[in-house]
Each structure stands twice: as C-alpha cells, then as structure tokens.
Chains A and B, each alone.
Chain A
C-alpha cells in the first residue's frame, strides 16, 4: 500500500453540547478533537439512522454547525448531551491560506464552512474580511464570534433587515471597488457561487470555493459526488479558480442518491 489510508471507520463519542443558533441552525459539540485544514469535512453518523458529510466549525473540540433542512439534520438537532454520535474524517482538500488581505464569503449555512478558515486567517494576522449573507436577519449566526476573532464583518441580507440589502455577489462587487483582496474564499448556495464567480472573474481576483455534492462514502469510492469527473470528497471540496473553470456542472446539475442528474439550483435536503 503506497499511501496513508483515509479513515475508514467512524469514531463514536458522546455529544457534549447542542446549541440552537437560530430557528434553522444548530451547533453540536463532540467529545473529540481532530487535526484538520480549514475546509476539510467529516462524515457524521447517527448510529442506526444514516451518515452525512458536514463541514467543521472548530476542530478542538470537534464542533459542527448544521442547517436543519431535512430528516437527518432534524435528528441531529434533537440530540442531547451524552447521546452518541460517530464521526470519520477529516476528508478532502481544504483551503490554501495565502495573502495578506482576504475576503471570505459565507452564504447561509455556508458561513459555517468558512468560519474556521476566517478564525485561522485572522489568527495568522491576515486582514480578514467576512461577508456573511443571509435571507433575513433572523437567519444570521456566528457574527459576534467572528468579530471577536478579529474579522471585519460585512453582513448582508436579501431583504435588508441586516447590513447591505441585496445578494452576496453585489456586495462583493461593491467591496472590490474600495479594496484589493489577495484571495477570495466562498461557500454557500450554488447560485451565490455562480454569480460571485462572475464578479471575481471580471475583477481578476483569485478565489477558492468550497463546493457541495451528494456524498455516500467520503473516501473516493462511490462516485456520487463527481463533478465533471472530479470527486468533491477527495479532489475537493475546495477548488480554486483554475479548477472551477473546468467544472461546467457547477450551477447546472447535481446528482441524487440514485446517481440521477437534476438541476443544481434545487437545494439538496438532508
């Protein structure tokens, strides 16, 4: 065997805390710590129920912020301290930290995927701007935590109830008028990524996006997460602009549990 094997079994530990961030988001802390790069992910196993991929909010103690959007995530939300939860990972390629001034864009629950990156960047003395985009004020979360970590916050909502009124891409364009970012990082709804990408391509700013696809194994076997032959679980989930230009499926279609292709715009539920 020529390489270090990816973790192939869950480690099952007690949940130590379950915090409701708002109506939609829950943060779960496990009695575990892992070594990981920002942007990598873990598979979470509710014993006897199912197993799904989630990005990591904090590796020590292992903390995950989850949008409760389907049967599995609602079962996660219902966990109590002391309940057992399995995790395996970390998996995939994380964000490459580069530059002296960066913009980190998190759309909806996608903010949870880039919050660790923002904390690490800020901790390294990088001028870290965070664009946190939500539909409305009541869906906002983690803003104070990131501000305390030294990030410069740029909240934005579709309805203007908090911060900039409008979509993330419009605020990115506005921020680019008065700032020069060495790198832009983003995670969020696929349409947000597509529109943000157009703005960044026009401004010729380098970027890295964390992408999401249905995933069964996390270890490069099931092929469910393929985008143009790239496995989001191993080749991603973070891709840079030179890779994203080849991912023509972005914004077009994704695969269901069966492998069937459907529009990428319809939000997945889990």
Chain B
C-alpha cells in the first residue's frame, strides 16, 4: 500500500486530507469523529477573542454545482474552545487553529493562547469575505500585501509553531500577497478561501437567500479556479501549500497535488459526500497510487509542473 503520509513543516500527517476551517469545526467530539473516519488533520472554525453570533439565517445554501455561505465568523471565543482542543489533543489529533482579530497585536495573542493549548499549527484567516460593516479583518487584510505582511509578522512574533496564512482568491494577483506572507514569516500557505462574493436570489421571495445577501462561493464549480491558483503559487513560492477549493473526489486531490500542493483541505465536500468523504478520498488515493506504481504520495507532488 502506498504511503499517504505527508510532512508539513515537521507536522506529520497520516494522509494529506485536512478538514478545512468553518466546516464541522465547533465541537471537539465532532472533529474527533472526522479524524476517526479518516482526516489527516483538523482545522478549527476561525476563532477570535470574544464569542460571536454571526449572521442570521440562512447562512448557507447549496446546489449541485456550487455552495455559498455567509456565516459571519460565529464562534465561541478562544477561552470557550479550550475544552474542544483538549478533546482532540488527548486523542492525538493534529490540530490547526484558525485565528482572526480586530488588531494584529490581538491576533498574535490569540495565536499564542492556542499554542498554549497544544495545537500543532496556526492558520491566520485573512481571507473571510463575510464581514459586517466596519469590520477590519478577514479579506480586508488579505487583499493588501502590506497588511498581510504586518498581520503575519505580528502572529509569527508571538508563536513558535508553524504558521499557515490562508489567502483569498479575490485579488488581482495572489502571488505578491503569498510572497508578502512568506517574507513576513509564514511557514505555509493555505489557498483558497471562497470565491466571490456570489449572490443567489429567491425569485418567489424576490430577495437574496442569504441574510447577508452576498456570500462566499465554494463547491465543485470552483475546483478549476482553485487549481490554477495552486499551479501559479507553486511556481512562485517554496513553502508547503495546503490546497483547497471544490475537492469532492480523490481525482481532485491528485490534481491539486500534481499542481504542487503538499496537502489538501476539504470543507464543502462534506456536504457533497458526507463525513465519510475523508475515508473515501484516502481509499481512492491509495488504490490509484498502487495501481500506478507509486510508493508514496510525495512522488506525485508537482508532477504536472514538470510536464
């Protein structure tokens, strides 16, 4: 059987499939279940200092081809999530803590707090598009090279575990932003957050379905867009890339890895295939690698770049 394990800046994952932030990332017990069914690592739902309610419903919608959400960064706050992390760390689950904050200083403090909880890596969320008026985090940061660098450096200064910076695809050119993050201390890049904003109107109600009206677009339809971004990032940066965006089947994972990804994250795929998607992806990967004579998944990394 082919070796599916990957090493991300010293964090050893048994396979390259990671639960993406924002999906099933609230309850430690649920996340442990996702790990038990096959995920290589878990990313918590993005957390800041205080508890947040997020937007009223509907906060998400789904079609056969795309998914849209505007949850609005609801979360129980860094204190409340401590017990959920403990459930995961007691079970030996590799955990990535996704963080955001209104100030760079505070963002570093939250990340340091997570490090004290024993998480394996920090993911800096500078790409959430579903903000309320006046909120200056998420994609407000991730669309600027300067702000990206400042926020990255502020978190890096207060932590010693690997730092992942998660990027938005909704920029003129993602490459300079990725380089700014890496130059400021990012150990890895996660790409991409949702596309958009997107809009869905209910014609009988004659109004947008999402209470936030606009939302971030994910799901199978964004796969080729995300894949092209991974392709371009791989040509521009050396650090590990966690690729996400529209993955619903093992072939999608192989494409992302062949484009140069070191690992992949699955979020909306949980809607399309259920929690068992993690098990199914790993079986598919293993069988495909075996049938093609590969000993290890690392052998296919960047393969298409060499063509």
Mark A residues whose CB is within 8 Å of B: 1-3, 5-6, 8-13, 43, 45, 47-52, 84, 86, 216-217, 219-224, 226, 228-229, 231, 255-261
Contact = CB atoms under 8 A, between A and B. Distances in A.
A10 B26 contact: no
B211 A50 contact: yes
Interface of B: 23-27, 29-30, 32-33, 45, 51-54, 56-64, 67, 71, 74-77, 80, 200, 202, 204-205, 207, 209, 211, 220, 248, 268, 270-275, 280
Q: Is the interface of A mostly helix, strand, loop or mixed?
A: loop
Given A221-B270, A260-B76, A50 B45 contact: no
B58 A51 contact: yes
B272 A47 contact: no
A5 B272 contact: yes
Contacts of A256: 51
B54 A223 contact: no
A177 B142 CA distance: 67
Contacts of B63: 8-9
Given A50-B211, A221-B271, A45 B30 contact: no
Given A9-B209, A258-B74, A223 B271 contact: no
B207 A231 contact: no
7 smallest beta-carbon distances between A and B, as pairs: A8-B62, A51-B57, A229-B29, A226-B27, A12-B204, A47-B205, A223-B26
Contacts of B273: 1-3
B32 A257 contact: no
A219 to B, nearest CB: 6
Contacts of A13: 204
A249 to B, nearest CB: 9
Given A3-B274, A229-B29, A217 B59 contact: yes
A216 B302 CA distance: 39
Contacts of B280: 2
Contacts of A45: 57-58, 205, 209
B237 to A, nearest CB: 31
A88 B64 CA distance: 15
B270 to A, nearest CB: 6
B211 to A, nearest CB: 7
A258 B64 CA distance: 29
Given A222-B26, A223-B25, A47 B62 contact: no
Contact of B59 (A2, A6, A10, A222): A222
8 contacts: A51-B56, A216-B71, A216-B74, A220-B274, A223-B30, A255-B26, A256-B51, A258-B52
Given A222-B26, A226-B30, A259-B74, A217 B52 contact: no
Nearest to B87: A229
A219 B268 CA distance: 11
Contacts of A52: 57
Contact of B76 (A6, A48, A259): A259
Name, among B33, B58, B275, the residue most crowded by chain A CB atoms within 10 Å (CB to CB).
Answer: B58
A91 B27 CA distance: 21
A228 B80 CA distance: 16
B61 A258 contact: no
A73 B226 CA distance: 41
A221 B24 contact: yes
Given A220-B274, A261-B80, A228 B29 contact: yes
A39 B183 CA distance: 55
Contacts of A6: 62, 271
B53 A257 contact: yes
Given A220-B274, A226-B30, A8 B202 contact: no
B75 A259 contact: yes
A10 B209 contact: yes
Contacts of B207: 47-48
Given A10-B205, A84-B205, A226-B26, 19 more contacts: A5-B64, A8-B62, A8-B67, A47-B202, A47-B205, A47-B207, A48-B211, A49-B56, A50-B211, A216-B57, A216-B60, A216-B71, A219-B60, A221-B271, A223-B23, A228-B29, A258-B74, A258-B75, A260-B80
Given A1-B248, A86-B205, A257-B53, A9 B61 contact: yes
B61 A8 contact: yes
A10 B61 CA distance: 8
B60 A231 contact: no
Contacts of B51: 256, 258-260
A230 to B, nearest CB: 8
A255 B30 CA distance: 13
A188 to B, nearest CB: 24
A26 B200 CA distance: 31
B26 A224 contact: yes
A9 B209 CA distance: 8
A221 B75 CA distance: 14
Given A2-B280, A216-B57, A221-B60, A258 B76 contact: yes
Name, among A3, A9, A13, the residue most crowded by chain B CB atoms within 10 Å (CB to CB).
Answer: A9
B232 to A, nearest CB: 28
A220 B270 CA distance: 8
B56 to A, nearest CB: 4
